[in-house]
Structure 1
Amino acid sequence: MTERTPLLHYRLSASVNESERQSLQSGHAVEQPRKGPRHRSSEHGSPKKLSTFFGVVIPTLLSMFSVVVFLRIGFVVGHCGLYQAFGMFFVAYVIISLTVLSVCAISTNGALDAGGAYYMISRALGPEFGGSIGLMFFLANVCGSALYVLGLVEAVLATFGVPEDGIITSQYQVLPSGYWWSLLYGTVMALLCLLVCLVGADIYSKAAFLIFLVVMVVLLTIFISFFAVTPHVVTLPAEATLNPNGNGTLGPTTANFTGFKIDTLLGNLWADYTEDYTTHKMMTFATVFAVMFNGCTGIMAGSNMSGDLKNPSYSIPRGTITAVIFTYIIYNLLCVLEACSCDRSETRSVVHTAGSSLPAPKWILLFVFFL
């Protein structure tokens, strides 16, 4: 047995070693097992070149900065308030920290090879556990891909789609809107992602650093927008102007981007759950947490690069923990800036992070959503 052998494999290895000893005692030579292609490729394959930053930190950050950053931070603060938003992110990161610490313990418990989470789990608990958990990872990635595609469609329609009330406020609003049109756009995007997967993962791996730079630039513009944009009035979507009590009367049609004001902060400290204008259902702590938690996933992206790392036992724990801490700080800063500068009606109704005050070019935001 070696340190790469699954721990639950010891019984089979013990029986094989026992049969070998019996054969040697009887005078028969035991033929050495022929090395498979995996062992030959590991001995004579290409050297591993990725460092901790490029192999673990960047993939994990790109996976954790999902559509929640750009579309749903205001939704969280608007419904549950700043205090509960802090509590939600704390609970979410405690949950993912348990997984991160488990991955760190397994990754530092022996040599790692290609295979990511499946290899680590199958080596520690056996191939049965590795296969079952690998299946759950597959289903989670399927659901995550659907979330990202829907976020891209929502961003495209918010920028270039014709409003459902027919009132066009920009010359760029030319795309038809509606449920079936959204389904069509999402299907086209999913097929495009399928073509990229058929070509190979090298497209993503070669452009990972460029994508990381674009995401960081967009996040920087979001933070700058809170300080650079002057207070102004924001027009709410038509479907969001109905009374939150659901009695059919019209509510406020505009909201204020106030800039940094203590009164705005005090108005956003406590929870104020209302009916969501898109689903027409009353929001609760559990429903808002379910929306927010999607932005805290993706922590296994760096671990899945174990076959391309110089020193996976060193890089995976340090890179993953660094990415988790960084995203936690960014999420909480965005919540504070939202609570200090945006009316509650604006944060609940406007889809992007800084309301209509975001100065970043819209094509950059759409590019990030697509990536």
Structure 2
Amino acid sequence: MTAALRPAASNGAVRRFGTFDGVFLPTLLTILGAVMYLRTGWVVGNAGLLGAWAIILLANLITACTGLSISTVATNIRVGAGGSFSIISQSLGLEVGGSINVPFYLAQSISVAFYIFAFAEGWQSIFPSHPAVLVLFAVFAICCLVAFVSVGFAARMRYPILFIVTFSLFSVLLGLFPLFGQAGAVYTPTLIGAFPSGSFWQIFAVFFPAVTGVLAGVNMSGTLAQPRRNIPIGTMAAVAVSFVIYMALAYWAAVVATPQELVTNLTIMVDRAAFGWAVQAGILAATFSAALNSLVGAPRVLQAMAAHGVVPFGQQLASETDGGEPRPAMLVTGAIAFVTLLFGLSGDGLNQIAPLMTMFFLITYAVLNGVVLLEQVMGLTSFRPLFRVPRLVPLVGLVGALLAMFLIAPIFSLVALITIVVLYEVLQLRQLNAPWSDVRSGLFGTIAEWGAKRTLAMPQGRDRAWKPSLLVPVDSARAVRRSYRFLMAITRPNGSIFILGTYGEGDHERTKGLLGYEQIFASEGIFARVALVRSEHFTQALQTTLEVYRSAFFRPNTLFLPVGAEDDEEELQFVLDRAGENQLGVILYMDNPLTGLGREQAINVWLREQSPGWAVGLELSNLDLALLLAYQLARNWRAHINLITVVEDAAEAANGRAFLEQLIDLGRMPRTTQAIVHTGAFDAVLPAAPQADLNIFGVQQRASLGFMQRMVDVTASTCIFVRDSGEESALA
């Protein structure tokens, strides 16, 4: 970094602009561009006076709503450098702000070349002998020089441009009277036109780009003295003044020429104004002003994005001079405009990409309106703007901008949206760090709150919506590490895990490692949360947690508890009783230290004898959770399931098999699931069961750690012992 450049920062020596010179003038001069001179009459010739007024009204309605939305946001937050980038990023995050404003910046930079081409065409209409290439690069060099000197110098250039545009409009107004060789207003306006050049919406599509300069002043937010005051007043004043001018020009065109003349003669203002040369000068001034405004405003958007790491070479592009001029960003913008000029000289390429640029402007307008609408709908206390608008305003602006996009160029609209989505995904991968908080978490929280209220208002029944949501109470990180593979298999892909770490006096180090499991599980796509609770009594901490979760909407539905033969059986029974009282299913996990989870290929589910009533009903007696867990594990392990039941009476074997097969069918278990019926005493047939990597048993009425350990030893596998909560259904 040279001595002349420094990182972007506020500096009291930097000139600050007010409402008139910083916002109103650049916005007004951008809106009153070449389209005003060359297309207003054409619109009237096609649509008639009333049709033209309707088109102007609709177009200005979208920009007015956008301006009002911008004014609302500007009075609610501290708008930083970059205008729309600052507004969108502070509300929806850097990723959204960047994905919208990178193409918006490119569109602004490319538009410099468009305005210069328009200037050159106007110049050659006056001086046809001047070489077009020479005119193009001369105007480009002048624009770059003015912008490069300082934004203050560029701002001073706007005053003579304003005078020229104002005088040209005065000359047009004089054309209403029979003066200076003009016939004046001699025609009766055609109220509804014949639309010879296209439909109403096609005419609207041609006209709409005329009013897309509403962000010209907002982009200068970093150079404004009081953005919170300057942006609303300057933007809305420019929109209002330009609206009156366009409506008046439509009436002027309707009374000074016939519809046929208006459609065929695009320079009707030059021909019917009191001083045609003044209108020609106005066209040149308007196109030069638009090019200059883009060349001054675009680098500040790039600088703001660079300062937050949205674009490469951020440190260099974010630098500025002691006077606050973003010279590196200006050089990049100038280079893009120069390449675009060369591209335009090579053929008709500029006209081919022009609609895409308009789309990026419109998407930016849509998102700005969407930001305000979201803030209003969420009703967060942080949204308390000094300037408030009804919800209808941003809604109309949002819908209008989106409709305008697809009316003007549906294919380019899709291309623009796809581009923004791709950019968003790229920026997501870069994990940008914003120095501010945004409303995204509040947005999803509001949606979740709305969903919770709607759900609670409906008839209760969670069996069809069941998915594993585990509460895992542990006293050390080691306990989670031992059952990590199983927890992954049981919750992937849509389950969740709530880890409750309890510690006593001086034992905090044992549970600190649990905090890292949020990120570990998240990296595998599983939602996990960890809470550390200080308590001398494990059961008391768990009971309190269960009672708290009972009234929560997003609460765990299953208690997962690693157990061992050395645990206290009375304490375990206390935990089971509390889980039942709080309608939680139970999974007691006892691993085999020698085999672990084995090859994760076979699962045995042991179902108790159902005689004499072997019918499969909607409510299974403590079988639902076992079947659901088996299905979940089989899906993630790609394992096969054995449903096993033991009958003492051989006469019941056929009923038992029919029951299991019906259970497989109605429960929609995997096709490889086998039904196995053993005859004899449970303890006698247990060793004869197929070898499995996991055995699933039901929890007895009273938990017996001795029985559990015996099952682990006899089956030579890890075992889980489950109990339904009553909110699961394997048949739902």
TM-score over 0.5 for the pair: yes
1:243 corresponding residue in structure 2:
none
CA contact (8 A) 1:114 1:308 kept: yes
Q: Does 1:293 align with 2:208?
A: yes
Q: How does 1:39-188 map to 2 (within 5 A)?
A: 41-42=9-10, 44-46=11-13, 49-142=16-109, 144-161=111-128, 174=129
1:259 corresponding residue in structure 2:
184
1:331 corresponding residue in structure 2:
246
List per-residue Cα deviations over 1:68-94 (Å, max 9, x = no partner). Answer: 111111111111111110111111112
CA contact (8 A) 1:56 1:303 kept: yes
Q: Secondary structure at the match of 2:73?
A: helix
CA distance in 2, matches of 1:118, 1:351: 37
CA contact (8 A) 1:93 1:296 kept: yes
CA distance in 2, matches of 1:199, 1:82: 45
List per-residue Cα deviations over 1:203-239 (Å, max 9, x = no partner). Answer: 422322232222212222221222253676xxxxxxx
Q: Does 1:370 align with 2:370?
A: no
Q: How does 1:277-292 map to 2 (within 5 A)?
A: 282-292=197-207
2:173 corresponding residue in structure 1:
223
CA distance in 2, matches of 1:62, 1:193: 15
Larger proportion of strand: 2
CA contact (8 A) 1:93 1:328 kept: yes
CA contact (8 A) 1:61 1:327 kept: yes
Shift in Å, 1:135? 1.6
CA distance in 2, matches of 1:47, 1:370: 25
Q: Secondary structure at the match of 1:149?
A: helix
CA distance in 1, matches of 2:283, 2:220: 27
CA distance in 1, matches of 2:147, 2:15: 23
CA distance in 1, matches of 2:78, 2:133: 45
Query: How does the TM-score come out when normalised to structure 2?
Result: 0.36
Q: Which amino acid aligns with 2:72?
A: A
Unaligned ranges ≥5, structure 2? 1-5, 290-732
CA distance in 1, matches of 2:86, 2:138: 34
CA distance in 1, matches of 2:23, 2:238: 8
Shift in Å, 1:316? 0.5
List per-residue Cα deviations over 1:13-54 (Å, max 9, x = no partner). Answer: xxxxxxxxxxxxxxxxxxxxxxx954xx42x53265322111
Pick from 209, 213, 225 the counterpart of residue 310 of structure 1.
225
CA contact (8 A) 2:172 2:269 kept: yes
Unaligned ranges ≥5, structure 1? 1-35, 162-173, 176-180, 233-257, 275-281
Q: Which amino acid aligns with 1:260?
A: A
Shift in Å, 1:199? 5.4
CA contact (8 A) 1:70 1:352 kept: yes
CA distance in 2, matches of 1:107, 1:160: 45
CA distance in 2, matches of 1:60, 1:109: 21
Percentage of pairs with the same residue: 30
CA distance in 2, matches of 1:66, 1:367: 9
Query: How does the TM-score come out when normalised to structure 1?
Result: 0.67
1:252 corresponding residue in structure 2:
none
CA distance in 2, matches of 1:265, 1:293: 26
Q: Which amino acid aligns with 1:87?
A: A
CA contact (8 A) 1:63 1:298 kept: yes
List per-residue Cα deviations over 1:119-145 (Å, max 9, x = no partner). Answer: 122112211111112123223324533
2:160 corresponding residue in structure 1:
210
CA distance in 2, matches of 1:290, 1:129: 27
Q: How many residues align?
A: 281
The structure number with the bigger radius of gyration is 2
Shift in Å, 1:265? 2.4
Shift in Å, 1:336? 0.4
Shift in Å, 1:272? 2.0
CA distance in 1, matches of 2:137, 2:7: 39
2:264 corresponding residue in structure 1:
349
CA distance in 2, matches of 1:365, 1:199: 24
Two-structure CA RMSD over aligned residues (Å): 2.8
Alpha-carbon distance change, 353 to 325 in structure 1, aligned in 2, over 3 angstroms: farther
CA distance in 2, matches of 1:156, 1:48: 34
Q: Which amino acid aligns with 1:271?
A: G
CA contact (8 A) 1:229 1:357 kept: no
CA contact (8 A) 2:178 2:184 kept: no
CA distance in 1, matches of 2:7, 2:140: 34
Q: Which amino acid aligns with 1:104?
A: S
Relative contact order, higher structure (CA 8 A, sep 6+) = 1
Alpha-carbon distance change, 195 to 54 in structure 1, aligned in 2, over 3 angstroms: closer
CA contact (8 A) 1:346 1:355 kept: no
CA distance in 2, matches of 1:337, 1:215: 17
